[in-house]
Amino acid sequence: MTLSEVDTPALIVELDTLEHNIRRLPASLAQGRVRVRPHAKSHKCPEIAHRQIAAGAVGVCCQKVSEAEAMVDGGITDVFVSNEIVGARKLQVLAKLATRARMSVCVDDARNVSDLATAAERAGSTLTVFVEIDVGSKRCGVPPGPAVVELARQIKRSPHLRFGGLQAYHGPAQHMRGVAQRRAASAAAAESARQTRMLLQDDGIECAVITGGGTGTFGFDAGSGVYDEIQAGSYVFMDADYARNEWPGDGPEFQQSLFVWTTVMSRPERSLGSVDAGIKSLSNDSGPPLIYERPDIEYVRGADEHGVLRFKLEERAPRVGEKLMLVPGHCDPTVNLHDWMVGVRKGIVEAVWPVAARGAIH
Amino acid sequence: MTLSEVDTPALIVELDTLEHNIRRLPASLAQGRVRVRPHAKSHKCPEIAHRQIAAGAVGVCCQKVSEAEAMVDGGITDVFVSNEIVGARKLQVLAKLATRARMSVCVDDARNVSDLATAAERAGSTLTVFVEIDVGSKRCGVPPGPAVVELARQIKRSPHLRFGGLQAYHGPAQHMRGVAQRRAASAAAAESARQTRMLLQDDGIECAVITGGGTGTFGFDAGSGVYDEIQAGSYVFMDADYARNEWPGDGPEFQQSLFVWTTVMSRPERSLGSVDAGIKSLSNDSGPPLIYERPDIEYVRGADEHGVLRFKLEERAPRVGEKLMLVPGHCDPTVNLHDWMVGVRKGIVEAVWPVAARGAIH
C-alpha cells in the first residue's frame, strides 16, 4: 500500500528518519560514560523500544505503571518508572511486574517508601528505588538536601527495596527557547544533583546512578559529568514545539519523523480550507501543527474534528480530497490519541505498529 | 465498589445528574415542534445514546463515519453524520451502514455529492443528504444562496440520495460568553437558514428539516421557529468552559455530571501538589480543569501525566494519596482520552460503560 492510499487521519512515522534519530542519540553520546534510557511515554510502542535497545539503550523509562506493563508485555526487560506511584492497586501491579522484569521507580515521600516495601514483600520481588529531587520542575521531588538522605536510608533499610540513586529531571527546561537558558537550567540541575550525591556519600550511601535529561537538554546533561542515564523521549519523533527551540550549530540533531496524514474535506472560502484532523487527532497543548513543506498553508485553529487552514497562496491551495502531512505541535499527547502508527519508507507502507500503551493512564 | 476504591485517573459520570440532563433537554423544548438529536461525539457511548432516545431523542448525530459505525453496532438505528465525508473508503463504509440504519450526512461540494451517489448505488442503499450552509463557523458549508439550490438539485437528481434539508450549525457561537452575543449569533444563523429555505421553495424544492444548534444556543435556536432538530451534545456532561458562559436566569439548565477522579501523588511544596491526571487524561484545549467543590485549590498547569495544583489554604491541602474530583475544561476531547466511564450514584459504582467510539477518528 502506498502512503496516498492510507485513510485519514493517520499517525505516520517516516522510518528512515526514525531510524536516523534512534541511532543518533547514543552516537552523539558515544565519547562519554552516559547511558541512554529513552522515555517510552513518547511512543508507547514496544516495536520502537526494541529498536532503541538494539541501538544501545539500556532499557526504557515509563511514566505510568500501566505503560510499564505494556512494555514488559511487549518484551522489554528493564523499565524505570520515572515517576511517583501512589495507590495500593498500582503498587501491587508494579511489584508483580518486578517478578518478570528489572523494575525501578521514583519516590519523594516516606509513606510511599513504606507502601512500596510492603508491595514488594507481598509480591516476593525487589524494586530499585530512586529518590526524585526537585531541580526546577516544581511538580514532584524533595528539595536537594537532608530529606534525600532520610529517604535513601529508609530505602536501604527495606529488604525488598534497593537504592538506585537520584532522579533529577527538569521538565520545563526542555522547552526553554534559548540555548543559553537551557544550558543554564541543565547546569543548575546537575549541580543540585552533584551536591546531593556528595551529601549521600558523606552519609556512607553510594549513589550509583543519577538519571534525568530530555531532548532539549541532553547534550548539556551528558556533558555535565553528573548524569549517568539520559531519559530523552521526543527525539525519536520531534515536533513543532521542539522546532521552535533554538539549537546549537545548525539545528537539532534529530529530524522530524512523526506526522498526521489528513484530507482536505471542505473549502468554505478561496483562502480557507478544513481538514479532517482536529483536537481528537492532534494535541494542541503546545500550539497548532505545521503543514510539512508547505509554508504557504497555516493551520489556524483546531476544533474537535476539524482543522481550519488558511492559504497564503490561493493558486496553490489544495482541493477537496487532497491529502496533507501535518507536523504535530506536541508529539507525546498526539501519539496517545492514535491506536496505531503507520511506518512509511519512500512513500510505501512498511509496517503498522499498535500504540500498545495508548490510554495507559494508570 | 465505592467511588473511593476506583483507581485513578478515571472518567466518572454522576448518574443522577446525567439522567437529569438527559430528561431536561427534551423537557425544555416540550412546548415546541423541535426535535432533539443529541450529538454523540460528546459521549461516544451507545449506553448514553439509548438513554437519550428513551427520553425522546429521534436519533443521534456523529461527526465521523467510524463514530457512526460504533453507534450502529451499539444498536442505534438513526444516525446523522453532521459533517462532510471525503474519501472512497469512508464513503463505502457510510453507504454500507445505510443498509443497517437510517443514515444521513452533510455535503458542501458537487464532486462529493457524486461520490456519495456512487457509493450508495454500489451499496444498494439510500442516503439522506443535507446541504451545509456556513452560518459563521467558517470551516465547512457553502454560503447561503444559489450554491445551495444547485447542490439540492443535484442531490434530488441522484436516485440513491434523498434531500434531507439544511445544516446550519454555528460552532463558535456555543462558547461566546455573553447571552446577548449568543442570542444574536443564533438569530443570524436562523435567518440565513430561513432565507435559504425560501430560496429552495422558490425553486420548488421542499426543505423538510433544518438542523443545528448546540448546548450554548439551543434555547434561542429552538425558539427561532426555523430549526427542526437540535444537535446539542455537551449538555449531558457540561464542563468548565460552558460554566464560564453567562446563562439566562439562574445559570445553565444542566448540571455538571462528568468528572476526572485523580490522586495527589506528590507535595513538592506546602502550597503545591501534583495529581496523576495531566494532558493525557484531561484535554486542556479550553483551559485547565476546576477542582469540584474546592475553590481553595487551583489546577495551575498540566503536563503530559501530571497536573500541578496550588493550595490557597495550606491547612486544607490534601495529603499524598487523597483523591479529588476534577471538572474537565472541555468534555468532548476529554471523554475521547478514556476507554470507559464509571457510572456512580451516591458514591457507589453502578455501571462501567465502554467509550465505544473512543479514537474513532475516521
- Selected residues 236-275 of chain B with any CB under 8 Å from a CB in chain A: 263-269, 272, 274
A143 to chain B: closest CA residue: B268
Q: What is the mean pLDDT of residues A116-126?
A: 98
Q: Is B334 on the interface with A (CB under 8 A)?
A: no
A135 to chain B: closest CA residue: B268
Asked if residue A172 and residue A113 are part of one domain, the reply reads: yes
Asked if residue A331 and residue A226 are part of one domain, the reply reads: no
Q: Is B7 on the interface with A (CB under 8 A)?
A: yes
Smallest Cβ distance to A266: which of B84, B269, B272? Answer: B84
Asked if residue A216 and residue A72 are part of one domain, the reply reads: yes
Interface test with A, best of B61, B86, B336 (most A CBs within 10 A): B86
Chain A residues touching B331 at Cβ < 8 A: none
| Counted domains in chain B | 2
Interface test with A, best of B276, B299, B340, B362 (most A CBs within 10 A): B276
| pLDDT for the residue A25 | 95
CATH, residue A40: 3.20.20.10
| pLDDT for the residue A248 | 87
Ordered DSSP codes for A100-147: TSEEEEEE--HHHHHHHHHHHHHHT--EEEEEEB-SS--SS-BPSSHH
Q: Which three cell numbers stand for residue A65?
A: 505503571
Asked if residue B274 and residue B233 are part of one domain, the reply reads: no
Q: Which three cell numbers stand for residue A127?
A: 524494586
| pLDDT for the residue A281 | 98
Asked if residue A226 and residue A322 are part of one domain, the reply reads: no
CA A281, CA A6: separation in Å to the nearest integer?
15
Residue A65: pLDDT band by 50, 70, 90 thresholds? Answer: very high
pLDDT digit string (tens) for A217-254?
999 999 999 999 999 999 999 999 999 999 988 888 99
Name the domain boundary from B180, B205, B237.
Answer: B237
Asked if residue B195 and residue B259 are part of one domain, the reply reads: no
Q: How many CB pairs under 8 A join A and B?
A: 157
Domain membership flag for residue B145: yes
Chain B residues touching A358 at Cβ < 8 A: 359
* Contact assignment for A141 to B281 by CB distance below 8 Å: no
Domain membership flag for residue B244: no
Name the domain boundary from B188, B210, B237.
Answer: B237
| pLDDT for the residue A29 | 87
ipTM of the complex: 0.96
* Contact assignment for B86 to A276 by CB distance below 8 Å: yes
- Selected residues 141-170 of chain A with any CB under 8 Å from a CB in chain B: 141-142
| pLDDT for the residue A177 | 96
CA A137, CA A247: separation in Å to the nearest integer?
21
Q: What is the mean pLDDT of residues A273-296?
A: 97
pLDDT along chain B (362 residues), means of 10: 98 98 92 91 98 97 98 98 97 98 98 98 98 96 96 98 98 96 97 98 98 96 96 98 92 95 96 97 96 97 96 96 98 98 98 98 97
Name the domain boundary from A177, A204, A236.
Answer: A236
Q: Is B309 on the interface with A (CB under 8 A)?
A: no
Q: In chain A, count of helices (H) and strands (E)?
A: 10, 17
Give the full edge-to-edge strand order of the sheet including B127-132: B35-36, B229-230, B209-212, B161-167, B127-132, B102-107, B78-84, B60-62
* Contact assignment for A333 to B304 by CB distance below 8 Å: yes
CATH, residue B266: 2.40.37.20
B90 to chain A: closest CA residue: A7
Asked if residue B175 and residue B150 are part of one domain, the reply reads: yes
Q: A270: domain range?
A: 3-8+253-354
Domain membership flag for residue B22: yes
* Contact assignment for A279 to B285 by CB distance below 8 Å: yes
Chain A residues touching B305 at Cβ < 8 A: 41, 63-64, 83, 361
pLDDT digit string (tens) for A192-216?
999 999 999 999 999 999 999 999 9
Asked if residue B99 and residue B208 are part of one domain, the reply reads: yes
Does residue A30 register a pLDDT over 90?
no
- Selected residues 11-30 of chain B with any CB under 8 Å from a CB in chain A: none
What's chain B's length in residues? 362
Mean pLDDT, chain A, rounded, equals 97
A172 to chain B: closest CA residue: B303
Asked if residue B299 and residue B231 are part of one domain, the reply reads: no
A285 CA: distance to closest CA in chain B (Å):
6
* Contact assignment for A361 to B337 by CB distance below 8 Å: yes
Asked if residue B313 and residue B230 are part of one domain, the reply reads: no
Does residue A32 register a pLDDT over 80?
no
Element (H, E) at A230: strand A229-230
| pLDDT for the residue A251 | 81
Chain A residues touching B276 at Cβ < 8 A: 86, 361
B108 to chain A: closest CA residue: A266
Does residue A112 register a pLDDT over 80?
yes
* Contact assignment for A320 to B90 by CB distance below 8 Å: no
| pLDDT for the residue B78 | 98
Does residue A33 register a pLDDT over 90?
no
Q: Is the Cβ–Cβ distance between B36 and B14 less than 8 Å? A: no
Interface test with B, best of A11, A43, A64, A86 (most B CBs within 10 A): A86
Domain membership flag for residue A319: yes
Domain membership flag for residue B362: no
Chain A residues touching B64 at Cβ < 8 A: 305
Chain A residues touching B134 at Cβ < 8 A: 268
Does residue A31 register a pLDDT over 90?
no
Spatial CA neighbour of A218 closest among A242, A240, A200:
A242
Amino acid identity for residue A20 in this structure: H
Asked if residue B277 and residue B177 are part of one domain, the reply reads: no
Spatial CA neighbour of A125 closest among A166, A81, A79, A92:
A92
Q: Is the Cβ–Cβ distance between B70 and B360 less than 8 Å? A: yes
| pLDDT for the residue B10 | 98
| pLDDT for the residue B285 | 95
Domain membership flag for residue A223: yes
Domain membership flag for residue B242: no
Asked if residue B34 and residue B180 are part of one domain, the reply reads: yes
Domain membership flag for residue B299: yes
